[in-house]
């Protein structure tokens, strides 16, 4: 089991991993996010379920991207932003943003927060409603984000923005 998943399980998260070979990345995702760093799916492809006990935060696993397990779709915030857009130009700007940001962690415990991999440089950003398309940098890489999250999970008082997710 990946160290982050082990820490989350220790915190009483519902964590289930794939037995055997990990899930393949769905074709619609690999088509939309061709520049996604391989280490991202190397982790997410092993996750069947990873949900905080209060069901307000999720590390997305392969089944979540197929809309099978969560009350929120993996791209729920993009859908919400698009529905709230007032013009085709605004909808286009939103689509352009999300085509370059791969969400992998969602939380509804605060302001509809997310963590996403920014495809142009592999960094991880944190965004929240109502300005989802104005995220802040939290880690220069997915690997560093995962390591930091595991460290924050192991402490009693995780700092912001990590506390929103754990």
Domain limits of the chain?
A: 3-165
Q: What is the pLDDT of residue 154?
A: 83
pLDDT at position 58: 93
Using DSSP, state whether 101 is helix, strand or coil.
Answer: strand
Q: Mean pLDDT in runs of 10 for the chain (166 residues)?
A: 92 93 92 95 95 94 79 89 94 96 94 96 96 96 95 85 90
pLDDT value of position 68? 62
**Prior bond of 161 cis (ω within 30°):** yes
pTM (two decimals): 0.94
The C-alpha atoms of residue 161 and residue 66 are separated, in whole angstroms, by 27
- The CATH code for residues 3-165 is 3.40.1580
């Amino acid at each position: 089991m990946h160290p982050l998943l082990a820490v989350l399980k220790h915190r009483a998260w519902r964590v289930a991993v794939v037995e055997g070979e990990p899930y393949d990345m769905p074709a619609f995702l690999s088509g939309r996010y061709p520049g996604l760093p391989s280490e991202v799916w190397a982790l997410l492809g092993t996750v069947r379920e990873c949900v905080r006990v209060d069901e307000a935060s999720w590390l997305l696993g392969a089944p979540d991207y197929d809309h099978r397990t969560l009350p929120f779709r993996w791209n729920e915030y993009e859908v919400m932003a698009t529905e709230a857009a007032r013009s085709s130009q605004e909808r286009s700007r939103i689509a352009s943003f999300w085509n370059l940001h791969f969400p992998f962690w969602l939380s509804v415990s605060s302001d509809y927060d997310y963590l996403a991999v920014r495809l142009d440089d592999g960094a991880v950003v944190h965004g929240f409603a109502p300005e989802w398309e104005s995220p802040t940098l939290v880690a220069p890489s997915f690997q560093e984000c995962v390591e930091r999250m595991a460290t924050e999970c192991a402490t009693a008082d995780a700092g912001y923005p990590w506390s929103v997710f754990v």
